[in-house]
Amino acid sequence: MQLKPSLMPLSQMLNLPLRQTLVWFLGILVFSMNAFGQPNENVSSRYYYIGTLGKNLAIQMDISVTGEKVLGHYYYDKVGIPLQLSGNFAEIKEYNPKNRVTGIFRGTLSPLEKTFEGTWLTPNGKKRLPFKLTKVAEYVFSNTRQGQSLEVSAAYPDFLSLSLAWQQINLAVEQSFKKNQSHFMAESRTYHIEEGIRHRWFQKEVFSIEYYSEELISLLAEISDYSGGAHGNYYYRSHNFSINGDQAVELKLADLFLPNYGKVLSDYCLDSLRKQEASSVIDGDLTRLNDEDLGTFSLSPQGLIIHFAPYAVGSYAEGSFTVMIPYKDLKKVIDPNGSQPKLKLWTPTQS
């Protein structure tokens, strides 16, 4: 059995012979390395990178690391369609939607380093391109437990930029999930006191970076919770920020579009939801979507994405729904003087 070295006052240590002092220091060093120097291989970490493949193909990569196993996805900024990733620190394979290997990233991935670079190649090795990625965010994992009856957890990005705008975003995200957790915990305590019975309540909130640039960040959080009953529930919250110098401003739909956007978005979503067989739309219970219905949205190079939680447009058994509206179908309502120039860049010009 390995015993940790006992701590010794400095005054007593200075009176030891040199050989004995060195042994004492080595013991402390070995204990410190065993206790703190070895990562727990069962704990996952998560990172977000941006960079280029080849000369100028801009890409974004979201990866999780458990031990030496790497999972995640990446996409080309111009396309916006995620390709799944799986591999290790030396080689990461990419998979298309049909689960076929379409490329391989070879390099040396080290979560402690800020950059990840190497060579991307096709499966047959005939085409090779250099890639270089820079880490822009590391995820923070938090967990709070009270006895056996209450547990809340969260995973959210911490952006590494030291600029004032990005620190504002970090603070806003942290305050957002903490407020949500505090409300859930207060509800749990009230229920347990009033009902006099205790069963397990839990809530988990996981953020994802949907899009990243120096001018725009789009975040989506999925919250799953259970507070009794036949099943738990899940829903979404979104945060979209426009960044201008040292100022970050959270965006609403009204900040992006002309005043007549509501009907355009509502009609497009209802048509898509009808095709997806959302029961509330098919049955005629839902004939118009207002700003609150459309308020959970994310932005990507593909288009505006509206997220509907269970019960929003159908039964719980139907699950959640997503509607992606291409920018070409929104060009008549995108505000040319709006607060987010990225939308104008993504929108095809009028023919």
- Which amino acid is residue 187, in one-letter code? E
In the CATH scheme, what is the code of domain 254-346?
Answer: 3.90.640.20
Tell me what the pLDDT averaged over the chain comes to. 86
With b for 16 or more beta-carbon neighbours within 10 A and e for fewer, the 309-320 pattern comes to bbebbbeeebeb
Q: Tell me the fold of 147-250.
A: Heat Shock Protein 90 (3.30.565)
Distances in whole angstroms, Cα of residue 158 to Cα of each of 41, 48, 164, 187, 272: 22, 10, 13, 28, 35
pLDDT digits (tens, 9 = 90+) for 117-151: 999 999 999 999 999 999 999 999 999 998 888 99
How many of the other CB atoms lie within 10 Å of CB of 42?
Answer: 7
Q: How confident is the model at residue 166 (pLDDT cuts 50, 70, 90)?
A: very high
pLDDT digits (tens, 9 = 90+) for 49-82: 999 999 999 999 999 999 999 999 999 998 888 9
List the beta bridge partners of residue 235. Answer: 223
> What is the model's pLDDT at position 348?
57
Share of residues in the chain with pLDDT > 90 (%) = 69
Q: What is the DSSP letter of 277?
A: T
The rounded Cα 312 to chain-centroid distance in angstroms is 23
Residues forming CATH 2.40.128.30 domain(s) in the chain: 44-136
pLDDT digits (tens, 9 = 90+) for 204-255: 999 999 999 999 999 999 999 998 878 889 999 999 999 989 999 999 999 9
Residues forming CATH 3.30.565.40 domain(s) in the chain: 147-250
> What is the model's pLDDT at position 252?
93
> What is the model's pLDDT at position 42?
57
pLDDT at 31 over 60: no
295 in Cβ contact with 253 (< 8 Å): yes
pLDDT at 260 over 70: yes
- Which amino acid is residue 71, in one-letter code? L
Reported in sequence order, the residue ranges of the chain that DSSP labels E, i.e. its strands, are 44-53, 57-66, 69-76, 83-87, 91-95, 101-107, 115-121, 128-146, 150-159, 201-212, 216-226, 233-244, 247-250, 297-299, 303-308, 321-326
How many of the other CB atoms lie within 10 Å of CB of 111?
Answer: 15
Q: What is the pTM of this model?
A: 0.83
Residues forming CATH 3.90.640.20 domain(s) in the chain: 254-346
> What is the model's pLDDT at position 345?
58
Which CATH architecture group holds 44-136? Answer: Beta Barrel (2.40)
